[in-house]
Amino acid sequence: MSMLFVNEERLLKSLEELSLVGNSSDKGVTRFALTPGDLQARQWLQARASQYDLRSHFDAVGNLFIYAQDAQEQPPVIVGSHVDTVPNGGRYDGALGVLAGLESLIRLQETQTPLSRPVWLAVWTEEEGSRFSGGLIGSRAIIGELGKEELKLTDADGISLAEALCSWGLNPDDLPQAARKPGQIHAYVELHIEQGAKLDVAKEQIGVVTGIVGIRRYNVSVKGQANHAGTTPMNLRRDALVAASLMVQAVEQIVRDSGHLEAVGTVGKLQVYPGGVNVVPGQVDFTVEIRDIKMEVMDELVAKVRTRLQEIAAERHVELTWEAAPAVTPSLLDESVQQTIAQVANELGYSWRYMPSGAGHDAQHLARICPTGMIFVPSKDGISHSPAEYTADEDCVRGTNVLLNTIVRLAK
Ligand SMILES: [Zn+2]
């Protein structure tokens, strides 16, 4: 099959330009969802699209869709990502996927490539959750899972999601109309930077994403006995922090030794009570987080960690409470879309590997209503959500070439 190639110069120039649009920071890119800066970025995209005879519209939750004028009534192939960022974020997270999608649509126009399905670019609303907690709001709306209650979510200034949508002239009451049912989207593909170092370390060019990892979180509390640090002999202590420190190490060791190479386990938050320099710690609260792409792997690791923590608690004569916090189900991506991406990468002569995504993406929601795939490109040193985020020009171009030819095959 003959391959299409993107206009490298145009793609790279638009990456440069978009990083400056609506950006309120002089350090990295700061563009929170549904702010004037976010609107400027979307209007910039609309203006760019119209130069190439592409149309666009917003849905009720601020998702922007861009498509060719001759879009048929058939379920579209959608490509997309986001333009909102974390505070002082990078130039590539989200923006690359959006601009690669736009460049692909433009190339399809310019080359008059015959397709039997329409291709849409989606710019999702509030992916990061920097303004309204939880994030992934636009993609939750499109699968019909953004509840009316969530329109009441407020930002740091007390402005609700509904009010923010109204400020853009959108009507939050139309939220149900934004939802799509299974069968109404033919396929979804998202190009994104890896945000990890696997491709960079292995010097591989393309990641074919197998799925987005699930997350299990637990709030753990260890209760011992607070006491005077000067007068309590070592053999009479029930030191909650010493017990907790062994537990923290157990989490690391169990996950490392599990043989599940993609699994990760983290204690990221820990509080010591009463927290005095001269007091034996009486209580420690900490979090345990386990991520993997397979439910059964997470089940196994959680059971092992929990058993070991109970053993440590017994050995150390402390009480342990273990409470589950909200979890995220892993999303497996569509195998035939994965194969299409892999085949395109092969035919383009790029090196690639299958890999899971350790970070959440809008694709995990789309995967619930349509065949979905993701393409990763290398992040230098694995750095992301930082002004130091960097993906080499050639990698941006390669990823976009893979996206473009994947679209052609899905929309044929
Ligand atoms: Zn992103």
Average confidence (pLDDT) over 135-151:
94
Among candidate residues 86, 103, 277, 114, the one with its CA nearest the CA of residue 195: 86
Domain boundary among 328, 343, 359: 328
* pLDDT exceeds 80 at position 221: yes
Range of the domain at 135: 8-212+330-411
DSSP class of 3: P
Instruction: Tell me, in angstroms, the distance from the centre of ligand 1 to residue 169's CA.
Output: 26
Q: 102 and 193: one domain?
A: yes
Residue 284 in this model has a pLDDT that exceeds 60: yes
Query: Tokens in use for 294?
Result: 């397979």
CA 189 – CA 403 distance, rounded (Å): 8
Distance from residue 249's CA to the centre of ligand 1 (Å): 31
The label of the residue with tokens 């035939």 reads 336
Q: Is residue 354 part of a domain?
A: yes
The domain tally of the chain equals 2
Amino acid at 222: V
What's the 84 CA to ligand 1 centre distance in angstroms? 8
Tell me the pLDDT of the chain averaged across its residues: 96
Percent of the chain with pLDDT over 90: 95
Task: State the distance from the centre of ligand 1 to the C-alpha of 191, rounded, in angstroms.
Answer: 10
Average pLDDT in the 117-133 region?
95
Q: Do 243 and 286 lie in a common domain?
A: yes
Residue 187 confidence (pLDDT): 98
- Res 77 pLDDT > 80: yes
Looking at residue 145, its amino acid is E
Ligand 1 geometric centre to CA of 153 (Å): 21
Looking at the DSSP assignment, which residues form a beta bridge with residue 293?
none
**What pLDDT is attached to residue 24?**
82
Distance 388 CA to ligand 1 centre (A): 15
Local confidence band at 163 (pLDDT 50, 70, 90 cut-offs): very high
Ligand 1 centroid to 58 CA: how many Å?
20
- pLDDT digit string, tens, across residues 5-48: 999 999 999 999 999 999 988 889 999 999 999 999 999 999 99
Q: Which of 297, 328, 359 is the last residue of a domain?
A: 328
How far apart (Å, rounded) are the C-alpha atoms in residues 150 and 162?
A: 9
Same domain, residue pair 226 and 352: no
Assess whether pLDDT exceeds 80 at residue 293: yes
Same-domain status, 75 and 160: yes
Burial class (CB in 10 A: 0-12, 13-18, 19+), 212: buried
Tell whether 318 and 336 lie within a shared domain.
no
Query: Do 202 and 248 have their domain in common?
Result: no
Ligand 1 centroid to Cα of residue 175, in Å, is 23
> From the CA of 274, how far away is ligand 1's center (Å)?
39
Q: Judging by beta carbons within 10 Å of its beta carbon (0-12, 13-18, 19+), is residue 403 exposed, middle or buried? A: buried
Distance 152 CA to ligand 1 centre (A): 24
Confidence band for 70, pLDDT divided at 50, 70 and 90: low
Q: Tell me which amino acid residue 70 is.
A: D
Q: Over pLDDT 70: what percentage of the chain?
A: 99
Q: What is the DSSP letter of 180?
A: -
Cα–ligand 1 centroid distance for 94 (angstroms): 4
Last residue of a domain, one of 328, 349, 383: 328
Question: Are 207 and 232 part of one and the same domain?
Answer: no
CA 230 to ligand 1 center in whole angstroms: 51
Do 308 and 189 fall within a single domain? no
Residue 71 is predicted with a pLDDT of 57
Give me the CATH number covering residue 44: 3.40.630.10
Task: Report pTM.
Answer: 0.89
Residues 18 and 136 in one domain: yes
